[in-house]
Amino acid sequence: MEQGFFLVFAAAAVITALIMVLTHNPVHSALALMACFLQISAIFVLLAAPLLAVIQIFVYVGAIMVLFVFVIMMIDVREAVLQRFVPGGSLPALVLLVLLGVEMLALVIMSDRFSVAAPATSRTAGNIRELGTTLFADYLLPFEVASVILLVALVGAIVLARKEAD
């Protein structure tokens, strides 16, 4: 049952990711990527991480993709639609990609470290209280650094996108 759900979500995620890369229109790419993120959040639910699934939908589908769609609306994409998909001289990139994929798949398949059995009674499954305690106690400094980074990104994005006054 769980394996069937996983296969459905994984197949949908891979297909939508392929559509995202292969389609010519950036709007279609954005919509396909949105669908892909929804599948990935379903996979997070299968991994007993419902908090991460909700964060995934809020942040990626709710915020980041809306930002992308806004920018696509601001920019004239008609010129980009007409361009050639794969430019000449991309053979090295293709070879590199195939090598990367084969290497990673070979590592995954030939390694015996991925045969970990899931813990019978998951101690931390769905325990958001414990997650929050760890996040705000052991990882307080990284958390604060991340919030400063977000603040800097906020100010930087406003400064970058502002029209020059002079």
CA-CA distance, 41 to 54, in Å (whole number)?
7
CB of 125 to other proteins, least distance (A): 8
Contact by Cβ (8 Å): 61, 37: yes
CB of 119 to other proteins, least distance (A): 4
Contact between 55 and other proteins by CB under 8 A: the answer reads yes
Tokens of 147: 């919030």
Amino acid at 105: L
Contact between 62 and other proteins by CB under 8 A: the answer reads no
Contact between 66 and other proteins by CB under 8 A: the answer reads no
CA-CA distance, 81 to 62, in Å (whole number)?
25
Contact between 12 and other proteins by CB under 8 A: the answer reads no
Give the residue, chosen from 6, 54, 129, 165, that forms a contact with other proteins under the rule CB under 8 A.
Answer: 6
Contact between 76 and other proteins by CB under 8 A: the answer reads yes
Nearer to other proteins, 131 or 165 (CB): 131
Cα–Cα separations (whole angstroms), residue 73 to 21, 32, 36? 19, 17, 21
Contact between 153 and other proteins by CB under 8 A: the answer reads yes
Site string for other proteins, 97-116 (x = CB under 8 A): x--xx--xx--xx----xxx
Give the residue, chosen from 8, 54, 73, 149, that forms a contact with other proteins under the rule CB under 8 A.
Answer: 149
Site string for other proteins, 24-53 (x = CB under 8 A): --x--xx--x--xx--x--xx-xxxx-xx-
**Half-sphere exposure at residue 139, Cβ-oriented, CA atoms within 13 angstroms:** 10
CA-CA distance, 47 to 60, in Å (whole number)?
18
Contact between 140 and other proteins by CB under 8 A: the answer reads no
Tokens of 111: 């390694």
